[in-house]
Structure formats: C-alpha cells, structure tokens
Amino acid sequence: MYAVALASVGLAALTISPAIIAQEKAPENHLIADIQMFNRGENRDGGLPDAEDVNSDRAAFIFGRARMSIAYQRPGLEVRTSFQHQGIWGQAGKGSFSIHEAWAKLNTRSGLFLQVGRMVLAYDDERILGPNDWSMAGITHDVLKGGYEGHGHKVHTIWAYNQNAENTITGSTYYADGALPYKTMQMLWYHYDLPVAPLGVSLLGLNIGMQAGFPGEDEHVAWQQVVGGYFKFHPDRWSVEGSYYKQMGINENNVRLDAWMASFKAKFTPAPVWTFYAGYDFLSGDETFAVPKPGSIGLTHHEVLRGFNPIYGSHHKFYGAMDFFYVSTYVNGFTPGLQNAFAGTTIKPIPNLSADFSYHYLAIAAKLQNIGPTLGHEFEMEASWQFTKYASVSCGVSYMFGTENMQRLKRASQDGRLFWSWLSLALTPRILNHSW
C-alpha cells in the first residue's frame, strides 16, 4: 500500500512539475516585425499654386510609403529600428530611403528609463511635438531621452545636438540644411493623472537653438523658448481638452519673438454610434505689413515677431484638412496668425466603419489695414473602413469657400473655389511575433 501511494505521489509530481517550471520560466525575449504599406491619391483643385503662376493650382498624384519595423524586447531593454521609403508614384530618383527610427531604451523596475537614438516625439495632443504621420516622411528626432513614469506621474527630458558631419569647416560647428531644422534642443515635460478624477494635466518647456550667422562669420545659436500646458478632462460621455503656449526668445535674424496660442475642444458622445464636438484655436500673428500695389504684398521691418509657430507638431490634425495653414506659408512668409472655429460629428453605424463631417470658420488673428479677418469656410467629410485586421481604406473630401483675403494672403484661387479629395489604402501586417 505504501509503495502504491509513493508511486502515485511521484507520478503526480512528474505531471505537475513541468507546468510549474513553465510558469516560472515564462518567455523573456520577444521579437516583433511589422510592415506598413501606405498609398494615398490626392486631387487638388486650388490652394497651393506655383509661386510664379497663380493659375497653376491643380494637381493629381499618388503618395507611396513603405515602412518595415523590427522591435526586440526583454525585461529592462527595448530596441526598435524602422526603415522607410517614400515618394510620389513615378517620381524621378524613385523617392527617398531613410532610417525612420533607430533607438534603444533601458528600463528599471522603479520607473526610471533612458532612451537614445532616432525616435518619434509625441506629447499630449501632438500640437507642439508629434509624428506628423499624414506627411509621408513624418518627423523623428535624434535625441537622448530620460525620465520617470510611475504612480500617475510622468517626467521626460530630452537633449539634442545636430551637426552635418564630423567637421564641416575646420574649427567650426556650423549647422545648415540638415535632417532637422534646429541646431540643438532641450525639453522638460511633466504629466500627472489625478487618481480621484478623469483629469490629466501636462506642462511643457522647450529650449530651441537655431543656427544663425554664416560659416566663419558671426556664427552663433539663436535661442527661442516655448512654454505652456495642456489638460484633458473626460467624465463619462464628455471630453474637454485645452492648451496654452507662449513663444519667446529671438529668431535666426536676431528679431525678438513674442507670440502665443490657445486651444479648446469639447466632445459629447450620447450613444456609441454618435459623437459631437466643437472647438476654437487662436494663434497670434503680425499686424504690420504694406500693400504697394494690388495683388502684391510687401513686408515692413519687424522689431517683434508675434506670429506663433507650432514648430514640430502634427499640423494636419488641426486647422483644416486642406493644410493651408502651418504646412504651407502665406505670401512672402507673412504670418498674420489664425483663428479656427470648428464643429462636427462622427458616426459609427457599424463596427469598423466611421464617418466624420465637420465645418471650419477660418480667419486671421491680427488686425490688418484694409483687410478683414475672414479667410474662408471649409466643409469636410472623411470616412474610414477597417475591412480586415491589417487593412483599411479611407477617403476624404474638402471644400472651401475662400474670400478675397484668402486669395491675397495665400494666392489660393481667383474665384474662391478650393476643392480637394483623397483616397488611401493602408496595409499593416505583422509578419513576425516570436517569443522564447
């Protein structure tokens, strides 16, 4: 009897022990590979004409982008590399190839981390720092990033220093026409999620050094700062968010900067298939300019620039889908600022299908002589259908009733008719997901 009992216990131990060992030795290494194939065709009729010919404002073309991302993860370590090719179908030179991301990140159990390499910087609503993924190239930064995340607190710092080559000019550190527009940049970002309320608050500080002067002649760094904050409050069916940022310092031409912007947006979801939203953006602008003759604009010398620059954000998310503002410039680089009052609704009639309808009232922010504020009224429709786990199709139509101010300040369309449409296909298969 004792022998039978011992044999039964031993057999049970042999049966259970592999499961215990398997639980104790869970996979620590993970290798993931993703592919993104994205193509978007656009038909533009008005809005972005050739600088020399205001009538050549029609275009039809197809963007293409291919990315392959490889990521490795294990406790305390993350590594990611992303290769990218992007261009226009049929483009001479066959587009451009680049390394979109290449970084390594060390993590600790206490919440501290250190990350170094080329990476996407996306913070808050991406108004100041974002991937700008609508543009085919996107935005990534070569930075050293460190911080802490835990107990509702997030603190991130970054440091960047850019150069063209090991030594562009003997004894010089002049930087021009590089992959990024700034010479050096430092950032401090703090975010806190309240444990007793659905409220998140962020504070952001940027110190940006732009290359000024000429190689070997008065070369120096012009410093400008962006400071401000963002909040999002989302109780139940409501969501309210807003931001304020101040821009200071001097630009590359040694002109003082004194600009600001503010934004507010509210959303209400009465049912899972309906969402209504409305908001307002204000970006300050310059008031002084002269018009020597009809159809042309001449600039005056500014002692202080008051046109706000949202720098490295995802601009397509804001200010209208036709990208007239902060993607393209006004005539001669003039910056009278922008007011953007908008409202819309999102409908999700069936799973994986959504449609959005919106209206934008667009106006300049500065008070100009002999020119009213209104630029135009933009109506937009967008739809998206995720028809498989890794494939989706999207389309959009935008129509703007532009005013004479739009024609004078943007050289848009002589009859105020501005129409854009687009259709895109995105394929995002995961081709490898291996753990050991």
Confidence of residue 177 (pLDDT cuts 50, 70, 90): confident
Report for 49-63, 119-133, 290-304: range of highest mean pLDDT: 119-133
Identity of residue 185:
M
Per-residue pLDDT at 334: 76
Label residue 56 by pLDDT band (50, 70, 90).
low
Q: Is the pLDDT of residue 15 over 80?
A: no
Domain that holds residue 352: 2-435
Instruction: Give the CATH number for residue 285.
Output: 2.40.160.100
Dihedral, CA of residue 284, residue 290, residue 293 and residue 298, to nearest 10 = -80
Residue 408 φ then ψ, to 5°: -75, -40
- Residue 152 tokens read as 């509702």
Total number of domains in the chain? 1
d(CA 236, CA 231): 16
pLDDT digits 0-9 by tens, 370-418: 788 999 999 999 999 999 999 999 999 999 998 888 887 876 665 677 8
**Which percentage of the chain shows pLDDT scores above 70?**
86
Question: Could you tell me the pTM of the whole model?
Answer: 0.88
Question: Alpha-carbon distance 321 to 324, whole Å?
Answer: 8
Give CA torsion, residues 372, 375, 377, 378, to 10 deg.
-170
The answer, yes or no, to whether residue 185 has pLDDT greater than 60, is: yes
Q: How far apart are the first and last CA of the chain?
A: 43
Alpha helix positions (H), 195-312: none
Whether the predicted pLDDT of 291 surpasses 60: no
299, 300, 302, 305 alpha-carbon torsion, rounded to 10°: -30
Per-residue buried b or exposed e for 384-418, using 16+ beta carbons within 10 Å of the residue's own CB:
beeeeebebebbbbbbbebbebbbbbbbbbeeeeb
